[in-house]
Structure 1
């Protein structure tokens, strides 16, 4: 895999998921959202994904659907589409169907109908990954190893936020992140937080979750997308949501 283009990831990351209320917060187990890739448009320009789960504290099921313009690195189509059912009894299937109904027109208008393939995954049950990096490459032929793999490395560091995490809530300072692409003996920084956006709440950690891409993305010169887990203070422990970060210039 060759590194041919590098550009900064835009401030769109600031709006990746909604601000979560911080009003009351005893701590045990947090709300770890699940991830589902909904697909790409045929030209690889648009990517849709869903995060879904059950809120800690309230026990309400939720689903959030995002549509990313991969080239412009911004949300499009009116996304995110958020659905929460304020009852503890409904199933996740019900809330997910309601969110999909909200997003259906945008997904159709942007022709998001092509499969998204998983090129790498740090799965929740996987043992042994370091939580700070993920490597991937274009698919080899048959059982061949991926040629010329690249590595994404994630760095976390103490940062600042307009959310009064320390003064009002008594939490540690929020955590920001930087994402670096290593390929061909070169390191290109794709993103570095100058401060933590309020939309991320009071962050505590980040982890590279996976790499998704259109089918035959390398041959067709499409851009893969990194999925980053974002952990923030919740009612009963760290809550996880997801950020989608385009990884331009690899093939």
Structure 2
């Protein structure tokens, strides 16, 4: 059975510095792994250290057509032994996920990190992101803009103790190749277990990939916050 995605979280670049944020919770780092050659699978790793000091690492594999996790994924690792550290957690997690990485040859097709908008970037918008799909210098060519909206959702049973409103989100592509657009890219009216108690979202980046045959695949990187201000990533497939 496929697990519901709505986002599995990713954008990666070494954002290993996020612990310096003036937030109460921890915000996961994200590292994209890559795409299958046909663009139908996207993988990324999310990692960090919980407020309790426990290092963790999660690797997600997303079906870019359905937005669901691939069967048997994601892979979650938390280490509580005395000599646990983030390096060990990441290595163990990637070892567990390696068969899927190799099966879809993800390291061969990294895609392009077209935009990145972390919460450490002061003054940047939290609900929109604008980017182009070609890494060239000069004026922007055929830009795209994604807009993130938030919406109320029924509160899951496991979130009954949360003292803030639990919400979902919608995602629109409001600019396509430089022209106004109103494409409803994805709506998350029911959030999966990993993000069930989210109370706020931020659009944190975009990754694009062009298969040799076929249409471009865009991945919106959405950061979901819980009531304790812990931030975890969701990778949302968008097909312009």
Pairwise same-fold verdict (TM > 0.5): yes
Count of residue pairs the alignment pairs up: 222
Q: CA deviation at 1:123?
A: 2.5
What does 1:60-99 correspond to in 2, within 5 Å? 60-76=54-70, 78-87=72-81, 89-99=83-93
Q: Structure 1 residue 31 and structure 2 residue 26: aligned?
A: yes
Q: CA deviation at 1:71?
A: 2.5
Aligned equivalents of 2:189, 2:214: Cα separation in 1? 34
SS of 1:13's partner is: coil
The 1:170–1:102 alpha-carbon spacing in structure 2 relative to 1, beyond 3 Å, is: closer
Aligned equivalents of 1:213, 1:14: Cα separation in 2? 16
Give the root-mean-square deviation of aligned CA atoms: 2.6
Aligned equivalents of 2:102, 2:166: Cα separation in 1? 38
In the alignment, what sits opposite 1:52? 47
Q: CA deviation at 1:225?
A: 0.7
Q: CA deviation at 1:159?
A: 2.9
What does 1:103-122 correspond to in 2, within 5 Å? 103-113=97-107, 114-122=109-117
The 1:242–1:104 alpha-carbon spacing in structure 2 relative to 1, beyond 3 Å, is: same
What does 1:96-175 correspond to in 2, within 5 Å? 96-113=90-107, 114-139=109-134, 141=136, 143-163=137-157, 165=159, 168-175=160-167
In the alignment, what sits opposite 2:6? 13
Aligned equivalents of 1:138, 1:196: Cα separation in 2? 29
Q: Structure 1 residue 246 and structure 2 residue 223: aligned?
A: no
Greater relative contact order (CA < 8 Å, ≥ 6 in sequence): 1
Aligned equivalents of 1:127, 1:50: Cα separation in 2? 25
SS of 1:59's partner is: coil
SS of 2:230's partner is: strand
- Structure 1: 5+ residue runs without aligned partners? 1-9, 18-27
Aligned equivalents of 1:117, 1:195: Cα separation in 2? 29
Aligned equivalents of 2:214, 2:197: Cα separation in 1? 39
Larger Rg: 1
The 1:173–1:119 alpha-carbon spacing in structure 2 relative to 1, beyond 3 Å, is: same
- Structure 2: 5+ residue runs without aligned partners? 11-22
TM-score calculated relative to the size of structure 2: 0.82
Aligned equivalents of 2:128, 2:119: Cα separation in 1? 15
Q: Structure 1 residue 192 and structure 2 residue 187: aligned?
A: yes
Of residues 189-198 and 41-50 in structure 1, the stretch that sits farther from structure 2 once superposed is: 189-198
8 A contact 2:8–2:233 mirrored in 1: no
Aligned equivalents of 2:88, 2:166: Cα separation in 1? 34
Q: CA deviation at 1:109?
A: 1.2
Q: Could you list the per-position Cα deviations for residues 148-181 of structure 1 after superposition, in whole angstroms to 9, with x for gaps in the alignment?
A: 211111112333222353xx41512202211111
TM-score calculated relative to the size of structure 1: 0.79
